Structure 1
Amino acid sequence: MVMFGNRGAFSGLLAYAISFMEGIQGLHAWQWIFILEGIATVAAGLVAALVLYDFPATASYLKPHERAYVVWRQKFAYSEQGEDEDFSWQYVKDAICDWQVYTHVLLYMSIIGPLYGVVFFTPSVVKSFGFDTADTQLMTIPPFVFGTIVLLFNTFYSDRTGLRSPFILFALTLNVIGYSILLSDVKWGAHYFAIYLILGGAYGAFPVLISWASNNFAGHYKRCVGMALHIGIGNFSGAMFSNVYRSKDAPRYKLGHGIAMMFTWLGIFAVITNVIAYRYINAKRAKMVAGGEGGEGLKISGEEVRRLGDKSPTFRYNL
C-alpha cells in the first residue's frame, strides 16, 4: 500500500515529465506513458521473481534459527495451541457462514470504492479548478504524498497499540470531512484541501482494515477463504466507482462525491457494529474461561481449540 501511495505521487511527476516527450521517435506523449510505465512494471516483476521467497522456511537470507522462529511465530500468532494444518471443507463452510466476513466486506467496499474513485479521478477534479494539463499533473503530487504519510502513521501506531478500529474510524472521519467540503459550494482551494483529506483517509484505512480482518479470521484455512471473500467481493465497489464520476457532472461531480460519502458512512456503521459485537463476544468468552458459566472454556482440548479457530472460547477478537 505504501508503494501504491508512492506510485500515485510519482505518477503525476512522471506524467508531467513525459508530456515533454511529444513527438520523440514519432510517438505522442501519451504513448510514451504506456511504454515507460510498462517497461518499469515488467522490470519490477522480473526483480521480484528473483528476490522474493514463497515461504519463510525457504528464505535464504535468514539464518536457520531465524527461519525456525518466524515459522513458529506464524503458526502460533493467533492461538497458543497453534492452528490446524489439515484441510477440511468445514473451514470453507465456516468462512461462508460467518457474519463478520460480510461486515468486513462492507467495510472494505466503503474504503476501496472511494479510493478507486479519488485515485483515478483526482486529475479530472484538479483540472476542473482551471489548471492546464501539465500543472494538473504537478498539483496531484502533494495530496498523494500526504496520503502516504497518513498511511505510515496509521499502520505504525496501529501495530504499536495492537488496535485497528480507532485508526480506521480516524481515516473514515477524514473522508467524511473531505467529501463534505467537496460537496460544498466553496472556493477551489478548499476543494483542493479536501482531496488531501480524502487521499489520507483512503490510504490510511486500507492496510489497517486488511489487518483487522486477518486478525479476526482463524484458523489458517478459514482465514484464507475469509480473506478471499473479503477482498474478492469488496473489489466490486471499485467497478462501481468507475461509473459514478461522469463527465457530464463536471466540474462538481456531486453524484460521485455523494455516493462516496454514502459508502464512507456505511463503513463507519460496519466498524461500530464489529466493535460492539466483538466486545460482547470477548466478555462472554472471558466469563466462560474464568468459570463464570460453568468453566466450559477450561475443559476444551488443544485439538478442539485449533479446529474451532476464532470460535474457540479462548480466542479474543481484535478491536
Structure 2
Amino acid sequence: MTSGVTNNEKSAASSSTEEEVPSATAGEIDEGRLFLKLDWRLLPIVTLLYLWSFLDRTNIGNAKIAGLTEDLHLEGLQYNICAAVFFVSYFAFEVPSNMALKKVRPNLWLAFIMFLWGIIMLSMAFVKSYRDLVVVRFFLGVAEAGLLPGATFYLSQWYPRRFYAQRMGLFISASTMAGAFGGILAFAIQKMAGIRNLGGWSWIFLLEGLATVVIAGFGFLLMPDYPEKAKFLSAAERDYLLDLLAKDSAGLSKKFELKFFWQALGDYNSYLHSLLFLTTVIPAYCFALFVPTIIKGLGFSSAKAQLMSTPPYIFASLVIIAVTRMSDKTKMRGPYILGIALVGIIGYAIWYATKSATAGYVAAFLACAGTFGNIALVLSWAGSNTGGDLKRSVVLALVIGLGNLGGICSSFVFRPQDAPRFHPGHATAIGCICITFVTALFMSWNYRRLNATKEKELAELKEGDASVFAYMGDASPHYRYLI
C-alpha cells in the first residue's frame, strides 16, 4: 500500500490474507500448475537436506545398540549426556544462523552448514572416549542449528499461508522417514563391524557422514534463491507469485531492520509457540532417541529392534501428509494439533500400562504419529501467524531453538535403571503432550479473540498513511491470524 486507506482498501486488506488472487495476471496463470512447479523444484532438495540432518542427529540411538556404549565404556548417564549436549549448542546458534540466512543466499548458507556437519559426523566414527564424543556432539549441534529454522523460513518465502502447512508436512515427514530409513540403514551397516578394525557404530557415523558431504554439494547446486530471482519461473509466473505473497502478508515490510528482531522477542505469542513446540519435541525426541531401546525391551533382539523401528515412522509420515493437507484446506491449525495430541497420549499411555509385546508395538505406531504428526502443524502455525520477513525468521528460529532444548530433557528421561518398562519416561511424554493440548486450546481461542479485535480496529480506522502498517508486523489491523 502506498496511499491513504480508503474504505475499499480496508475491505480488500481484511480479506487478503486468505482468498485474494492477483487480478492482473489471474487469467494468464494456472495457479495449480505454478505451485506444482514450485513443489517439484523446492521440496525434494529441501526435504533431502532435512531428512539427512535428522538422521545425523538421531543416529546415535542406532549406534547405541550397535556397540557404541560398550566400545567407549559409557556408564550411567554418560550416553544421555552425549545425546543432550547436541541441543545446547543447537539452541545457541539458531537465531544467529537464521539472521545470517537473510543476508546470504539460501543455497550457499544451508549447503555450507551441511558440509560442516558432514565433516563433524565423519569425525564421530573415530572417537575413542566419552569426552571425545561429548565434544563432537557439541559441534554437531553448532553446525546443524541453522538447517531446520532456515529451511522452514525459506519455504515460507515461497508459499502463501493457505499452501504452507501441506508443504511443511511433506518437508517434516522427512524426519519420520529418516527414522524409518535410519533403522534399515543401521541394520545393514552394523554388519560391517570389524572391517578396518572399526565397530558397527563407527561405520554408521562414517558412511552417513560421507553421504552428508555429498548431499551438501547437491544442495548448493540445486536449491533456488528467493522468488524474486527464480529463473525457473517465467516472468508472468514470478510476478503472479510475488503479488500473491505480498497480498498474503498484508503488505508487511521485508526489510532487514533490528526493530523486527525486537518485535519477535517482545511478542508473547512467540513464547506460546515455543512452549507448544517444546512440549511437542520432547516426546518426539524420546521416541527418536530411544525407540530401538524400547522395542528391544519388549523382548526383541538388537537387529530386529532396528528393523521394527521402521514401520511406525512410515505410518507417521502418512498421518503428517494427511493432516497438513486438511489443515490447509480448512485454513486451521489448532484443532488438528488437538486431535493429533490425543493420539500421542493414547500411544504413550499404552506403553506405560502394558507388558504385552504386541500391544507395545501397536503403541509405537500411535506414539510416533501422535508426536511427529504435530511438528509440521506447530511450525506452520508459527510461520503463518508471524508477519514480516525478519520477524518471521527470528520467531521460527526462537521457536525451534527453545523447543529443541526439549531434546536435553528427552535425553535423560529414559534412564538405564528404568528398563525395560521406562515408566518415568513414558509419564514425562504423556505430561508434555497434555501441555501441548492445553496450550493449543488456549492459542486457538486467543487468535479468534485477536482477529475479532482487529476487525473492530479496522472498522474504526480513519484515512491516513497506510505505510505505517508495514512496520507493525502481525499486529497490523490488516493481518489475520489462522486459528
| CA displacement at 1:159 relative to structure 2 | 1.5
Q: Shift of the alpha carbon at 1:226?
A: 1.8
SS for the counterpart of 1:183 is: helix
Q: Does 1:65 align with 2:229?
A: no
TM-superposed CA distance for 1:110, in Å, is: 0.8
CA drift at 1:25: 4.2
Alignment of structure 1 residues 133-152 onto 2, 5 Å: 133-152=302-321
The 1-side partners of 2:481 and 2:465 are apart by 20
- Relative to structure 1, the CA distance from residue 300 to residue 164 in structure 2 (aligned partners, 3 Å threshold; closer, same or farther) is farther
Residue of 266, 274, 283 corresponding to 1:105? 274
Q: Report if the CA contact (8 A) 1:123-1:136 is conserved.
A: yes
Residue 210 of structure 1 corresponds to 379
CA distance in 1 between partners of 2:288 and 2:386 (Å)? 29
Task: Rate the CA distance shift 1:278–1:300 in 2: closer, same or farther, 3 A.
Answer: farther
1:194 and 2:348 equivalent? no
Q: Are the aligned partners of 2:354 and 2:360 in contact in 1 as well (CA < 8 Å)? A: no
Q: Distance in 2 between matches of 1:164 and 1:112?
A: 17
C-alpha displacement at 1:245, in angstroms?
Answer: 1.0
Structure 1 match to 2:176: 5
Q: Note closer, same or farther for the CA distance 1:85–1:26 as it changes in structure 2 (3 Å cut).
A: closer
Say whether 1:47 aligns with 2:218: yes
**What is the CA distance between 1:166 and its match in structure 2?**
1.4
Distance 2:464 2:387 in 1: 17
Aligned: 1:238 with 2:413:
no
Deviation at 1:247, TM superposition (A): 0.9
**Structure 2: distance between partners of 1:220 and 1:19:** 44
For 1:191-243, what per-residue CA distance to the aligned partner results, in whole angstroms no more than 9, with x for missing partners? 21111111112221111111101111112222222222211212111112111
| Offset, 1:284 | 2.3
Amino acid at match of 1:27: L
Report sequence identity in percent. Answer: 35
Is 1:112–1:206's contact at 8 Å kept on the other side of the alignment?
yes
Correspondence list, 1:274-285, <5 A:
274-285=443-454
Counterpart of 2:151?
none
**1:12/1:141 contact within 8 Å kept:** yes
Correspondence for 1:314? 478
TM-score (norm 1): 0.92
CA gap of 1:136–1:150, structure 2 versus 1, over 3 A, is: same
Q: Which 4+ stretches in 1 moved above 6 angstroms?
A: none
Task: Tell whether the 8 Å contact from 1:154 to 1:205 is kept in structure 2 after alignment.
Answer: no
- Distance, in Å, in 1 between the alignment partners of 2:262 and 2:463 is 25
What are the Cα deviations for residues 141-168 of structure 1, in whole angstroms up to 9, with x where unaligned? Answer: 1111111111111221112221111111
CA distance in 2, matches of 1:29, 1:193: 29
User: Structure 1 CA distance, aligned partners of 2:274 and 2:232?
Assistant: 36
Q: CA deviation at 1:287?
A: 3.0
1:161-310 superposed matches below 5 A? 161-290=330-459, 295-296=460-461, 298-299=462-463, 301-310=465-474
Change (3 A) 1:289 1:39: same
CA contact (8 A) 1:150 1:203 kept: no
Name the CA distance, whole Å, in 1 between partners of 2:464 and 2:184: 59
Within the candidate set 266, 287, 290, 1:121 is matched to 290
The Cα shift of 1:300 comes to: 5.6
Which of residues 246, 255, 268 is equivalent to 1:75?
246
Backbone CA RMSD of aligned residues: 1.7
Encode CA deviations 1:103-162: one digit per residue, 9 max, x unaligned: 111100011111111111000000001111111111111111111111111221112221
**What is the alpha-carbon distance in structure 1 between the residues aligned to residue 275 and residue 407 of structure 2?**
13
Q: Which sits farther off after the overlay, 180-189 or 192-201?
A: 180-189
**Separation of aligned partners in 1, 2:262 and 2:348:** 39
Distance 1:15 1:221 in 2: 39
- Larger mean CA deviation between 211-220 and 179-188 belongs to 179-188
Change (3 A) 1:270 1:299: farther
Following superposition, the deviation at residue 302 of structure 1 comes to: 2.4
Normalised by the size of structure 2, how large is the TM-score?
A: 0.62
8 Å contact 2:256–2:390 — kept in the other structure? yes
Alignment of 1:16-31 (within 5 A): 16-31=187-202
1:15 to 169, 186, 191: 186
Q: Structure 2 vs 1, CA of residues 29 and 90 (structure 1 numbering), >3 Å: closer, same or farther?
A: closer
Mapped to 2, the partners of 1:246 and 1:236 lie a distance apart of 18
Contact 2:252/2:472 (CA < 8 Å) preserved in 1? no
Structure 1 stretch displaced more, 33-42 or 20-29: 20-29
CA distance in 2, matches of 1:86, 1:147: 38
Q: Which residue of 2 aligns with 1:92?
A: 261
User: Do the aligned partners of 1:150 and 1:201 also contact (CA within 8 Å) in 2?
Assistant: no
Give the whole-Å Cα distance in 2 for the aligned partners of 1:148 and 1:86: 36
Whichever residue aligns with residue 337 of structure 2, its letter is: I
Alignment CA distance shift 1:96-1:22 (3 Å): closer
